[in-house]
């Protein structure tokens, strides 16, 4: 199947096409359409390909299993597809295997209910990133050995710039050098942790700063994704009082 460049002006048409093809399988849940995205559609299947570094993240909606398998099997390049689910994914696993995709990760969503402190608490000690920090922050998380670009949704340069502009990037510094970053944003009255990294053990400070920021904005719930194989991170978050809510994200890749 040949992918074509999307037309931003037709975004609403694309969304309607996706929601009319959800019977067999869909992993689309409100992703925006951007200028570099590509798509393809038939009477039964819609495919959205979003370029990320050297691969595409794929979103599909189809009511024809046979056709979907054929399309996914023949997409060129390296493609990653994710399926969030709280239930059984045997049907999804079967389609992925038949299409030549292998599972590369399972992530669990953790949630934390912000309590106790009121919304007028002082957050003046929180240090937010500035525009001039963008390059250093991007290099910090892009080169970190424990991050997997296929599964960790690392922000692009453009996304990072927007996060910084919106005061959604909290940093730690040591000797004037950025050693820790927490990228978090408020979406639909929920604080979403996108990425956290600290080279000098300051992760707890970054988490507490995020909780303070949430309280200041009247947000009662924070949530983030954790690799189900990362026992150390899971232990850390549980000690903070966060718990998994049952939603898991299954990642598959075809090179």
- 244 lies in the same domain as 141: yes
3 DSSP 8-state letter: -
**Domain assignment of residue 115, yes or no:** yes
**Domain assignment of residue 233, yes or no:** yes
How buried is 28 (Cβ within 10 angstroms: 0-12 exposed, 13-18 middle, 19+ buried)? middle
pLDDT tens series, the chain, 255 aa: 689 999 999 999 999 999 999 888 999 988 889 899 999 999 999 999 999 889 999 999 999 999 999 999 999 999 999 999 999 999 999 999 999 999 999 999 999 998 754 545 555 579 999 999 999 999 999 999 889 989 998 998 989 999 999 999 999 999 999 999 999 999 999 999 999 999 988 889 999 999 999 998 999 999 999 999 999 999 999 999 999 999 999 999 999
Cβ neighbour number for residue 254 with a 10 Å cutoff = 18
Query: Pick from 67, 100, 133: which residue ends a domain?
Result: 100
Query: Pick from 100, 126, 149: which residue ends a domain?
Result: 100
- 121 lies in the same domain as 140: yes
Query: Pick from 100, 119, 134: which residue ends a domain?
Result: 100
Q: Considering its fold, how many domains does the chain have in total?
A: 2
Q: What pLDDT does 115 receive?
A: 73
Q: Return the H-helix or E-strand segment holding 207.
A: helix 203-216
Q: What pLDDT does 87 receive?
A: 92
Q: What pLDDT does 202 receive?
A: 84
- 118 lies in the same domain as 238: yes
Domain range for 195 = 111-248
| Reported pTM | 0.88
- 91 lies in the same domain as 116: no
- 118 lies in the same domain as 74: no
Q: What pLDDT does 92 receive?
A: 96
Q: What pLDDT does 192 receive?
A: 97
What CATH code is carried by the domain that includes residue 134? 3.40.630.30
């Amino acid at each position: 199947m040949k992918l074509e460049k999307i037309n931003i002006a037709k975004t609403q048409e694309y969304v309607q096409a996706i929601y009319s093809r959800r019977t067999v399988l869909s992993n689309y849940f409100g992703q925006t359409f951007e200028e570099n995205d590509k798509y393809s559609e038939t009477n039964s299947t819609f495919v959205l390909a979003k370029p990320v570094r050297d691969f595409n993240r794929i979103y599909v909606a189809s009511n024809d299993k046979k056709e979907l398998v054929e399309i996914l099997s023949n997409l060129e390049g390296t493609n990653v597809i994710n399926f969030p689910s709280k239930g059984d994914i045997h049907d999804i696993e079967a389609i992925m295997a038949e299409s030549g995709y292998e599972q590369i990760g399972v992530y669990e969503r953790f949630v934390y209910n912000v309590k106790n402190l009121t919304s007028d608490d002082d957050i003046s000690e929180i240090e937010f990133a500035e525009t001039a920090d963008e390059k250093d922050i991007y290099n910090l998380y892009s080169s970190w050995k424990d991050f997997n670009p296929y599964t960790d949704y690392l922000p692009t340069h453009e996304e990072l710039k927007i996060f910084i502009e919106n005061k959604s990037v909290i940093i730690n510094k040591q000797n004037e050098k950025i050693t820790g970053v927490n990228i978090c944003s408020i979406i639909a009255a929920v604080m979403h942790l996108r990425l956290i990294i600290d080279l000098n053990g300051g992760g707890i400070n970054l988490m507490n700063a995020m909780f303070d920021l949430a309280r200041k904005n009247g947000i009662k719930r924070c949530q983030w994704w954790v690799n189900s194989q990362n026992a150390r991170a899971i232990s850390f978050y549980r000690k903070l009082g966060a718990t998994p809510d049952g939603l898991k994200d299954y990642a598959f890749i075809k090179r």
